[in-house]
A and B are shown apart, each in its own frame.
Chain A
Amino acid sequence: MSTETLNDAHESPDGHDAHHEHQIPKGILRWLFTTNHKDIGTLYLWFAFIMFLTGGAMAMVIRAELFQPGLQIVDPHFFNQMTTVHGLIMVFGAVMPAFTGLANWLIPMMIGAPDMALPRMNNWSFHILPFAFLILLSSLFMDGGGPAFGWTFYAPLSTQYSGDSTALFVFSVHIMGISSIMGAINVVVTILNMRAPGMTYMKMPLFVWTWLITAFLLIAVMPVLASAVTMVLTDKFFGTSFFDAAGGGDPVLFQHIFWFFGHPEVYIMILPAFGIISAIVPTFSRKPLFGYASMVYATASIALLSFIVWAHHMFTTGMPVAAEMFFMFATMLISVPTGVKVFNWVATMWRGSLSFEVPMMFAIAFIVLFTIGGLSGLMLAITPADFQYHDTYFVVAHFHYVLVTGALFSIMAAVYYWLPKWTGKMFDITLGKWHFWCSLISVNVLFFPMHFVGLAGMPRRIPDYALQFADFNKWISVGGFAFGLSQLIFLVLIVKACRKIGEPVSDQVWEGAEGLEWEIPSPAPYHTFATPPLIK
């Protein structure tokens, strides 16, 4: 893609100069009132990082308790609160806001737009988010504790066996949902309306494509989550019986509604990762992506399929055999477009001039480890086998491989890849490599043995376990602590980068990087593309 930025002296079409350039507000007010996509992206990313460390601290509590069999550190009710809030924070507080932050920073720069389409709404969608998590976290300190029914808040656990904090949980999920929907609307409008002239759909970078599809998924399913939590709220506090058999409802209905949201939701957390990897692998292979169009179609197919596979989470609820067969085969069908993607990345690297900078290391780790997570997913899709694996640590291993070494590694890869563009300085490469190798080794010590204890029958979400799982759990906990500590290296690296310590970088930053964002100066100026670039 070759582009040309118009002369700066040339006026933008409506006669406004880009004169705000010199009046960036200072201090806290800048961050409170900002409508600048780069500022909001930064806010989202920092928020996600803080939440990642918070949710990580809860995982450390879980692993400390599970270090040995028996109950030693926390009581079971608090353990349940930790697993629940860890899940909620990592899904809604870390992974999703991190992707939204990347979308804010990158989409306007990638499509040649001056900002997001709805900058004021953008400000709102970020600033309500900290309140959602403040409410959720404060519920942990209530009498009776915070939510303890798992992040999936199955009825009747959440409607009959939960504490008063359920109301706070519902309210905070509502706020998270509103924030996500506003963010998604912003992304869709930006991509549909604000592309630079000549930027056709099939010329958009894959990160933009995957985010466009993700945003549509968000708009479609976040309202479903909102109504699920609303039904839980009215069942618990206002005497309705959506999920109460005594009043004519059905608890299994909850699972249908939840997973109708939940399965597209897990793709919301992985599709932008596909976009990131599709940007990084070609750069460090010095080759264009092997099959651009097939990547676009594969992403769209995965998104469409995500709506017809929800009941594979519910094989053990007593579905008729015909339904189990349908959901089993539909689920397995997803491995076809996913396979197309993995094939594309590998084919891009094939005979490329590879170099292994930190973002590329994370990207390659992503491809290998995400594929492992995909394969255990395929095992879980097999209905008769799922009866054995259901609710065991095998499931925990599966979704941590796709979410930690999948989504999270892609976010880290993205940060390493675009950080020099944001700060204008190269990050501390030595620290980056330490972070990579420590994370890579510890994450596998952490999650790989979970496959074994899961296949051997260790149930998830239980603070105690049978003695035969003791050795593996010790290893898992050691891996967990090491992975947690490794992230402090990342924190130091990011703080150093934000304080602009490091070698200055060129506009292109990485030899082989292509796209509009690499043609603007480094660090990216506060306002970019006030005049749209021309794309030939």
Chain B
Amino acid sequence: MSEQPESKSTAENPNVSLENERTANAQIPKTRAQMASENAKTAKKLVFVVIGMLGFSFALVPLYDVFCDLTGINGKPSNEAAVYESVVIDESRTIKVEFITRTHSGMAWEFSAQTAEIRLHPGEMGEVEFYVRNPTEHDIIAQAIPSISPGVAALYVNKTECFCFKHQPLKAGEEAIMPMKFYVDPQLPKEFTFFTLQYTLYDISATVKPAVVVAMASNG
């Protein structure tokens, strides 16, 4: 037990280890109280990491939106009307745009594009009309959500007018034609020769009812 004298001196003078951070060669055992306070300190730091990560994971939601807006990788085109002026039409190539419509499951509306596909030059205005009918016996408010595939093309689709910018309320049995005007940015990379624009209709009556009842009343 050659270590005994050294340990004894520690027991007499436990404060030594307060100054001594635990290093490779520290041979000074700490008291339980010192150990406990040190442990509590480290644990507190780790709790901050936990809280930080919790905040970070909620921050991912807006970060994801910003990231997708900048890169367009989730296929969401801009939800604001573009202005069509001084756009150069690139007549050297033609882009095919296909239109797909669907209603979210459980929603009984009829919804279709009047034109299945159009071909146009980048920079040229295109117009498509969508037919929609509410065959149910209830007034329903719908929201159309666009999605473009391949996603990156979404950055180059500029809509000057779209029904999807607003809600689409239809009374029971009512039908409507909804227009959409757009042009493809001439900056569209050469490898894109066609893309698909899909609209999905969601029933949002439950969430926006109060506001729309007012809107419909003023229309009627």
Contact = CB atoms under 8 A, between A and B. Distances in A.
A11 B32 CA distance: 13
Contact of B46 (A219, A231, A260, A532): A219
B212 to A, nearest CB: 14
A222 B204 CA distance: 33
A13 B29 contact: yes
Contacts of A27: none
B217 interface: no
A50 interface: no
Contacts of A118: 39-40, 43
B80 interface: no
Contacts of A223: 50-51, 53-54, 56-57
B43 A257 contact: no
Nearest to B11: A13
Interface size of A as a range: 35 or more
B3 A534 contact: yes
B14 A13 contact: yes
Interface in A94-142: 117-118, 121
A6 B46 contact: no
B143 A197 contact: no
Contact of A198 (B24, B30, B40, B74): B24
Given A257-B60, A320-B152, A245 B53 contact: no
Contact of A246 (B26, B42, B145, B147): B145
Interface in A192-233: 192-195, 197-198, 200, 219-224, 226-228, 231
A185 interface: yes
Contact of B42 (A188, A257, A319): A188
Report which residue of A15, A224, A246 has the largest number of chain B beta carbons within 10 angstroms of its beta carbon.
Answer: A246
Given A250-B64, A253-B61, A185 B46 contact: yes
B33 interface: yes
B49 A219 contact: yes
B24 to A, nearest CB: 5
Nearest to B200: A245
Contacts, number: 135
Given A219-B50, A220-B49, A13 B31 contact: yes
B43 A6 contact: no
Contacts of A14: 14, 31-33
Contact of A189 (B39, B151, B200): B39
A261 B75 CA distance: 24
B98 to A, nearest CB: 16
B32 to A, nearest CB: 5
Given A197-B27, A197-B28, A185 B47 contact: yes
A10 B5 CA distance: 11
Contacts of B56: 223-224
A246 B71 CA distance: 21
Interface residues of B, number: 57
A320 B200 CA distance: 22
Nearest to B151: A318
B15 to A, nearest CB: 12
Contact of B73 (A226, A245, A320): A320
Contacts of A10: 1, 4, 7
Contacts of B22: 193, 195, 197
Given A192-B42, A531-B29, A13 B10 contact: yes
B207 interface: yes
B149 interface: yes
B108 interface: no
Nearest to B38: A193
A327 B200 CA distance: 30
A61 B43 CA distance: 43
A246 B46 contact: no
Interface of B: 1, 3-4, 7, 10-11, 14, 22, 24-33, 35, 38-40, 42-43, 46-47, 49-51, 53-54, 56-58, 60-61, 64-65, 68, 71, 73-76, 104, 143, 145, 147, 149-152, 200, 202-204, 207
12 contacts: A6-B1, A192-B42, A197-B27, A197-B28, A198-B25, A219-B49, A219-B50, A228-B57, A246-B145, A250-B74, A256-B64, A531-B29
Given A12-B29, A197-B27, A531-B29, 20 more contacts: A6-B4, A13-B7, A13-B32, A117-B35, A185-B43, A186-B43, A192-B42, A193-B22, A195-B22, A197-B22, A223-B50, A223-B51, A223-B56, A246-B143, A246-B203, A250-B68, A250-B74, A318-B75, A318-B150, A320-B71
Interface of A: 4, 6-7, 10-16, 117-118, 121, 181, 184-186, 188-189, 192-195, 197-198, 200, 219-224, 226-228, 231, 239, 242, 245-247, 250, 252-253, 256-257, 260-261, 318-320, 323, 531-532, 534
Pairs A-B, 10 closest by C-beta atoms = A246-B202, A223-B53, A227-B57, A223-B54, A117-B39, A224-B57, A14-B31, A13-B29, A189-B42, A200-B24
